A = this chain, B = another copy of it.
Amino acid sequence: MPQGKPSHVPDDGLTTRQRRARPLLIVHTGVGKGKSTAAFGLATRAWAQGWEIGVFQFVKSAKWRIGEEKALRVLGESGEGGAVTWNKMGEGWSWIQRPGTEADHAADAAEGWAQIKRDLAVERYRLYVLDEFTYPMKWGWVDVEDVVRTLRDRPGTQHVIITGRDADPRLLDAADLVTDMTKVKHPMDAGQKGQRGIEW
């Protein structure tokens, strides 16, 4: 919890107001819990500000994130905050435990990234959640240099959060805010399986 006091004032020619409005690239990585949950928590905060939000679900199984999807749908439809668009392309981009070759999944992921590029170009959302996007980057399904260049050069004030383990060093270098969720203790170490309401 930062105390709101920067350690120094940068000599970048920007006013505090301009610096406050600077678009952020945020990465939640590490092997601990909370990478995606914190990203969806940020999305609810952005929703409360009335921002348009785009979620891009690059998760392992289509049944993941059902709680988050339901919550953001209810929030988006309430009219009390920003609109929320949940981008999943049907079963798309969820490549484990479903039919299809690796080439199919790579093509799905590439199409997902192409959609994000189109949305960034027209400044469609104020906040983008690219959930588990580190994996298609790691597996070469999207080009890391293209991702980093596109995010660096994105127009306007579009915040982007990327979650997942094993974030590429080039992505971390480009990011403004990086948190590593470090596992200290997990019930699975004591033989416990995932729990409804906690894991999904």
Contact = CB atoms under 8 A, between A and B. Distances in A.
Interface of A: 1-2, 4-10, 12, 16, 19-22, 24, 26, 28-30, 32-42, 44-49, 51, 60, 66-68, 70-71, 74-75, 78, 80-81, 126-127, 132, 159, 164-165, 172, 175-200
Contacts of A20: 192-196
Contact of A181 (B12, B26, B34): B34
B38 A67 contact: no
A2 B191 CA distance: 12
Contact of A191 (B8, B172, B177, B182): B8
A200 B42 CA distance: 9
Q: Counting chain B CB atoms within 10 Å of each CB, which of A5, A30, A48 scores highest?
A: A48
Contact of A32 (B172, B180, B185, B187): B180
Given A1-B165, A45-B197, A181-B181, 18 more contacts: A1-B36, A6-B189, A6-B191, A19-B192, A20-B193, A32-B180, A37-B45, A39-B41, A40-B44, A41-B41, A44-B67, A44-B68, A49-B197, A70-B81, A71-B81, A178-B184, A179-B183, A179-B184
Contact of A48 (B29, B60, B71): B71
A7 B176 CA distance: 36
B176 A190 contact: yes
A48 B67 contact: yes
A198 B34 contact: no
Pick from A177, A193, A200 the residue with the most CB of B within 10 Å: A177
A67 B40 contact: no
A67 B80 contact: no
Contact of A10 (B4, B35, B164, B191): B191
A6 B74 CA distance: 34
Nearest to A40: B41
